[in-house]
Structure 1
Amino acid sequence: MTQLGEIQQAILTGESAAVGSLPVPESYRGVTVHADEVDMFEGLESRDKDPRKSLHVDDVPVPELGPGEALVAVMASAINYNTVWTSIFEPIPTFKFLKKYGKLSPLAKRHDLPYHVVGSDLSGVVLRTGAGVHNWKPGDEVVAHCLNVELEGPDGHNDTMLDTEQRIWGFETNFGGLAEIALVKANQLMPKPDHLTWEEAASPGLVNSTAYRQLVSRNGADMKQGDVVLIWGASGGLGSYATQYALNGGAIPVCVVSSPEKAAICRKLGAELIIDRSAEGYRFWKNDDEQDPKEWQRFGAKIRELTGGEDPDIVFEHPGRETFGASVYAARKGGTIVTCASTSGYMHQYDNRYLWMNLKRIIGSHFANYRESWEANRLIAKGLIHPTLSKTYPLEETGQAALDVHRNAHQGKVGVLALAPEEGLGVRDEEKRAKHIEGINAFRGA
């Protein structure tokens, strides 16, 4: 049996604590992009770029373990849109991030390689910890949040997201979670919810924390009971958590989806006010250069029809260019548009009169700090928020998993198994799981 096989066997037989006495292998399998292939999609439209061609499963060396860091045996991971961006080399190849990071210090130089091991989610077991790590030990079952910070300057000590050296692990750093072993900082680690399988526990990470900060945190929209919250892509990776936070926090979600199947998922979560934008035929752009304010007005009227005459207090934005003009228009007077992404394009256009004359606010929100991520994971562990995993692929088929997300042919989150040989493993509290099984499985088979 290989060294990695021994580690896997110890975890699968419930002897995770034993991994600390087992040798760490010299190499592992990781999902990579290659620096010499960054031009492979040149001339193609974004939608035509195929992650199956650029994402590889390679045998790569285990990186050196530095102070304040941990090596984790990865049981499962998940796909986020940043892996799609990485795979199609947009908006820039991630090797530029790695090269810049590599100049920071001799330790950071490890990340500047001709290959990039990607992935910003994981669940697994701590293998080793570096000098100065006190809260975690080999054998601990963990999930990881994807904020990588240095915290040597003052800016990040009020909110670590403002650290001058803040990066997203597995996107702007190397040795990510779509692999059999990952390298993280110890302040990325959080306890694995004990009622979830490995793949379920891995899937909330990035999107759950992002939605928490964007909607619930004081750093985001600071949602309160009774707020009307317009949620774009309400059955997707981000939106599915926003919908749960709105319902769990006493707000009123208005879920925007693109099919009857996605509407059905939102209803399963407990949402009642749903707009199927495809069925309604909204076309917010007349052409590539001009938006259609009449469509904004028609959209706003539909929202008021559903809410009994109320406009959204909060608009949960992430599509970007395609929807941003409608979002600014639709928010109520004094309302908030909070944005964390631009999956349909970064160059937003909106009519500023609707913003300044109606005292609206646009808030930028990016991922989450450790405290926010910890709180978001705590809610998962308590069964108040549930994973939105719909489908899981083996590590070898990560390219197909990323293509599903790229083409929006998925619901919720798409998981990837690493050292876990099959789905359904890793549950430590069957009684708690039984209480929440309906919520846990809400997206399964969708």
Structure 2
Amino acid sequence: MSQLGEIQQAILNDDLGAVASLDVPETYRGVTVHKDEADMFQGLESRDKDPRKSLHVDEVPTPELGPGEALVAVMASAINYNTVWTSIFEPVSTFKFLERYGRLSPLSKRHDLPYHVVGSDLSGVVLRTGPGVHNWKPGDEVVAHCLNVELEGPDGHNDTMLDTEQRIWGFETNFGGLAEIALVKANQLMPKPGHLTWEEAASPGLVNSTAYRQLVSRNGADMKQGDVVLIWGASGGLGSYATQYALNGGAIPVCVVSSPEKAEICRKLGAELIIDRNAEGYKFWKDEHNQDPKEWQRFGKKIRELTGGEDPDIVFEHPGRETFGASVYAARKGGTIVTCASTSGYMHQYDNRYLWMNLKRIIGSHFANYRESWEANRLIAKGLIHPTLSKTYSLEETGQAALDVHRNAHQGKVGVLALAPEEGLGVRNHELREKHLDGINAFRNV
């Protein structure tokens, strides 16, 4: 049996104490993009770029373990939109990020390679820890958030997201989670929720923490009970967590979706106010350069019909260019538009009169700091927020999984099995799981 096979067997047999005594293999399989293929989609529209052509499963060397770091045996991972961006080399090739990181120090030079092991989520078991790591040991079952920071300067010590060397692991760094082994900073690690399977536990990380900071945290919209929250893509990987946080926090979500099936998912989560934007036929852009304010007005009227005359206190923004003008218009006087992404384009346009004359605020929000990620994971572990996993692929099928996300042909989150040989493994707290099975499975078979 191979060294990796021995590690896998020990984990599957719940013999986690043996992990420390097993050798770490010199190589492992990881999902990669190749630097010499960065121009392979040149001239194609974004929608025509196929991640199945650019994502490879390669045998790669296990990276050197540095101070404050950990090697993790990855049981499962998940697809985020940043993996789609990496796979289609947009808006820039991620090799530019790796080159920049490689110039920082001799240790970070490890990341500047002609291949990039991608992925910003994982669940798994700690294999080894580097010097200076005291809170984690081999055999610990963990999940990882994706914030990579150096914290050598002062800027990040009030909020680590403001560290001048803040990066997203597996996107702006190498050795990501779509692999059999991953390299992380020890301060990325959090306890794996015991009532979840490996694939369920891997799926919330990035989007759950992002939604928590964006909506709940004082660094984001600081949502309170009774707030009307407009949520774009409310059944998607990010929006589905925003919907749960709104409901769990006593707010009133207005869920924007694109199909009856996605509307039904929101109802299963407990939401009542839902707008099917395709059924309503909203077209916020007349053409490539001009938006249609009449459509903003029609959209605002629909929101008020659902809420009994109230405009949104908070708009949870992430589509970007396509929706941003409508978002700024729709927010109430003194309201907040909080934005964390631009999946439909990052050059936003809006009518500033609706912003300045109505005292609205736009807040930029990017992932989450360790404390926010820990709190978000704690809510998962307590069964108050649930994973939104809809489908799971094998490591070899990662390209197809990324294509599903690229084409919005998915619901919730799409998982990927790494060392876990099948779905359904890794549950420790069966009693808590039984209490929340409906919530855990809300996105399955939709």
With the shorter chain as reference, the TM-score category is over 0.9
Distance in 1, Cα, partners of 2:135 & 2:150: 18
Q: Corresponding residue for 1:50?
A: 50
Within 2, Cα distance between the matches of 1:309 and 1:143? 43
Distance in 2, Cα, partners of 1:116 & 1:66: 19
- TM-fit CA distance, 1:16: 1.5
Q: How many residues align?
A: 446
Summarize deviations over 1:138-162 as a string: whole Å, max 9, x none. 0000000000000000000000000
Give, in angstroms, the shift of residue 17 of structure 1.
2.0
Separation (CA, whole Å) in 1 of partners of 2:245 and 2:411: 17
Partner of 2:324: 324
1:410 matched residue in structure 2: 410
TM-score, normalisation: structure 2? 1.00
CA RMSD of aligned residues (A): 0.2
The one-character-per-residue Cα deviations of 1:132-188 (angstroms, maximum 9, x if unpaired) are 000000000000000000000000000000000000000000000000000000000
Distance (whole Å) between structure 2 residues aligned to residue 201 and residue 302 of structure 1: 37
Q: CA deviation at 1:208?
A: 0.1
Which runs of 5 or more structure 2 residues have no equivalent in the other structure? Answer: none
The 2-side partners of 1:25 and 1:277 are apart by: 50
* Cα deviation digits, residues 114-138 of structure 1 (max 9, x gap): 0000000000000000000000000
Rounded to whole Å, the distance in 2 between the matches of 1:51 and 1:228 is 37
Aligned partner of residue 296 in structure 2, secondary structure: helix
1:401-427 Cα shifts (integer Å, max 9, x gaps): 000000000000000000000000000
- Hey, what does 1:212 align to over in structure 2? 212
Partner of 2:287: 287
Aligned to 2:232: 232
2:40 counterpart residue number? 40
Q: How far apart are 1:264 and its partner, in Å? A: 0.2
Q: 2:416 & 2:366 partners in 1: Cα distance?
A: 24
Deviations 1:372-408 (A, max 9, x none): 0000000000000000000000000000000000000
Structure 2: distance between partners of 1:110 and 1:150: 15
Q: Distance in 2 between matches of 1:15 and 1:306?
A: 54
Tell me the distance in 2 between the aligned counterparts of 1:227 and 1:274.
16
Tell me which residue corresponds to 2:388.
388
Distance in 2 (CA, whole Å) between partners of 1:81 and 1:40 is 19
The alignment-based identity, stated in percent, is 91
Residue 101 (structure 2) pairs with residue 101 (structure 1) = yes
Deviation at residue 18 of structure 1 after TM alignment? 1.0
- Kindly state the Cα deviation for residue 281 of structure 1 after the two structures are TM-superposed: 0.1
Quick check: 1:168 aligned with 2:172?
A: no
Name the SS for the 1:32 alignment partner: strand
Distance of 1:17 and 1:363 partners within structure 2: 46
Question: Does the residue aligned with 2:255 lie in a helix, a strand or coil?
Answer: strand
Question: Where does the alignment leave 5 or more consecutive residues of structure 1 unmatched?
Answer: none
Separation (CA, whole Å) in 1 of partners of 2:271 and 2:432: 24
Match of 1:312 in 2: 312
| Alignment deviations for residues 347-366 of structure 1 (CA, whole Å, 9 cap, x no partner) | 00000000000000000000
SS of match in other structure, 1:367: coil
Give a deviation string over 1:22-78, Cα, whole Å, max 9, x none.
000000000000000001001000000000000000000000000000000000000
Q: Does 1:154 align with 2:154?
A: yes
Structure-2 separation of matches of 1:19 and 1:409: 39
Q: Secondary structure at the match of 2:301?
A: helix
Where has structure 1 moved over 4 Å in runs of 4 or more? none
**Partner residue, 2:247:** 247
What TM-score do the two structures reach when normalised by structure 1? 1.00
Q: Give the superposition deviation at 1:445.
A: 1.4
Which digits, 9 at most, give the CA deviation of each residue in 1:196-216, with x for residues without a partner? 000000000000000000000
Cα distance between partner residues in 1 of 2:235 and 2:315 = 15
Distance, in Å, in 2 between the alignment partners of 1:150 and 1:403 is 33
